[in-house]
A and B are shown apart, each in its own frame.
Chain A
């Protein structure tokens, strides 16, 4: 495991919001094609970690390296293009765009036809748009969303909206995919389907996934490695078995 390529390396990451130390000296290493879990009680700083990894918040200290390249200080869209895509805890779809357009949007960040090629509909525009449409449909197939491709995103049922967000993130062509509570609000049946699909996505696209989740069954079931945060500090790190038996983790979740 440890011999495989490192995708993300986080060293001594920390951030202050005024006087509040929201995340403190976090270390994390994610390998190629690894499914990594990030858990912790509410307010532990999990989403803040996501926001630092994606450039929404600049970290106060520490470094973030994506495939050896330091990425802190870069803007969110630069980081997305370098290969970190994400979903959001409270769904952020482009509600009044169609399902297909949602995916075309993120695919479009990689197309290189320019403004004038676009407005004058030159041949390059046609070629790239057709290729993008093809790819969008193939991505939608992963979550069986092809039949809904012409619907407006806001008209999808809740579970499918969550899935569409993952498809859109895949359109960024990520090396690392960050999923922020993908199973929130889903029933057990939907959660189980999602678990399977996440695993399929990882294998099919060969990407690493970092997952925030409260559903312990989901996390313990599919993650290979887990980091536990509490009050912004790293509480434990290891395989699901190690985490389940760690006395610090048990006391943080259940009390002494």
Chain B
């Protein structure tokens, strides 16, 4: 077996990213993807960022986190406030707004990571759930951002190009994180915390690192969302939203980045594709979800899905 060098791998990843971008971009300029579907593609990219980043904490670190919408909301609101109150040229202001959204969410991620040093499993799930609800309730009561009525006329800076490349960056950086010593340390905590400590891994540090990385991208996704919709409402960032991201994450496979991308795409398109049967939409959505989960774990279909798995995961 010939080994792929790091350089070749990097070039391949960047090549695929660029090819995908040019593919979508040309379809859009040719009008094959109309503005309605362009919106869906942008939503897919935002959901990919959310799902992949959640996968770092839930899939790779192995902590069930139910507050991802909270990080997204924090990033969305802070970046919206920033770009509404500062008047710079958009090509400077927007990246700054994204960065601020990410950094603020990252700060909250750091705060949330502190209890995770002591809590695991169900208890951590409850803490993160509470965090999400706290963020939403705080937003409901802040006058500056319009409270429950919503925060409107946010400049609509989000374009397909921005969203696509941020999603690509999130995916590629997550992948290289997982293949670095830091990523292996994060995975080893999921596998066996005591053995990780005994192997010289500072588990507290790496838990914090995973939470910070994950919440940063959730914040950026929120900022993208805010500048795409131009309007924010606290109710959007409720528990349902966190669960929706978690479902995408679980369906794609805990600890499987490629799977996250695929399932985020499918689960974003599905509700849109089902609009024709308006009344039964959510019913069909639920049924499709159950069938997909069953198929995913059925041995009969294993060969079908193995193409998405890295080679090493095959049974010996």
> Could you tell me which A residues sit within 8 Å of B by CB distance?
54, 56, 75-77, 80-81, 85-86, 88, 92-98, 101, 104-106, 108-111, 113, 115, 118-121, 125-126, 129, 132, 148, 150-152, 155, 168-169, 171-172
- A154, chain B: closest CB distance, angstroms: 9
State the interface size on chain B (CB cutoff 8 A): 33
Residues of chain B in range 184-212 having any CB-CB distance to chain A below 8 Å: 184-185, 187-188, 191-192, 194-203, 209
Main secondary structure of the interface of B (DSSP, over half): helix
Bound-state CA distance A120–B185 (Å) is 17
> Do A77 and B192 have beta carbons less than 8 Å apart?
no
Pick from A86, A119, A150: contact of B198, CB below 8 A: A86
Contact with A along B283-316 (1 / 0, CB 8 A): 0000000000000000000000000000111011
Bound-state CA distance A150–B316 (Å) is 9
> Do B181 and A104 have beta carbons less than 8 Å apart?
yes
Could you pull out 30 A-B pairs where Cβ atoms are within 8 angstroms? A56-B197, A75-B197, A76-B194, A77-B199, A77-B203, A80-B199, A80-B200, A86-B198, A88-B198, A92-B194, A92-B195, A92-B198, A94-B191, A98-B312, A104-B181, A105-B184, A108-B184, A108-B185, A109-B181, A113-B181, A115-B182, A118-B177, A118-B183, A120-B176, A125-B180, A126-B7, A129-B181, A148-B316, A150-B311, A150-B312
> Can you name the residue of chain A whose Cβ is closest to the Cβ of B181?
A108
> Do A88 and B195 have beta carbons less than 8 Å apart?
yes
Residues of chain A lying within 8 A (CB to CB) of residue B191: 93-97
- B202, chain A: closest CB distance, angstroms: 5
> Can you name the residue of chain A whose Cβ is closest to the Cβ of B315?
A155
- A145, chain B: closest CB distance, angstroms: 13
> Do A76 and B315 have beta carbons less than 8 Å apart?
no
Residues of chain B lying within 8 A (CB to CB) of residue A150: 311-312
B27 at the interface (CB under 8 A from A): no
> Do B176 and A119 have beta carbons less than 8 Å apart?
yes
B19 at the interface (CB under 8 A from A): no
> Do B209 and A85 have beta carbons less than 8 Å apart?
no
Residues of chain A lying within 8 A (CB to CB) of residue B198: 54, 76-77, 80, 85-86, 88, 92, 169
Q: Which of B7, B185, B197 has the most CB of A within 10 A?
A: B197
Closest 8 CB pairs of A and B: A109-B200, A118-B180, A108-B181, A94-B191, A80-B200, A92-B195, A106-B199, A76-B197
Residues of chain A lying within 8 A (CB to CB) of residue B32: none
Bound-state CA distance A131–B55 (Å) is 29
- B198, chain A: closest CB distance, angstroms: 5
B10 at the interface (CB under 8 A from A): yes
Known: A105-B199, A172-B200. A118 touches B194 (CB 8 A): no
Residues of chain A lying within 8 A (CB to CB) of residue B199: 77, 80, 85, 105-106, 109, 168-169, 171-172
Bound-state CA distance A85–B201 (Å) is 12
> Do A126 and B194 have beta carbons less than 8 Å apart?
no
- A2, chain B: closest CB distance, angstroms: 30
Bound-state CA distance A197–B313 (Å) is 29
> Do B187 and A97 have beta carbons less than 8 Å apart?
yes
> Can you name the residue of chain A whose Cβ is closest to the Cβ of B13?
A121
- Beyond the given A104-B181, A169-B199, please list 18 additional residue pairs across the A-B interface where CB-CB is below 8 A: A76-B197, A77-B197, A85-B198, A93-B191, A95-B191, A96-B255, A97-B184, A101-B187, A105-B196, A109-B185, A109-B200, A118-B181, A119-B176, A120-B176, A126-B6, A129-B180, A129-B181, A155-B316
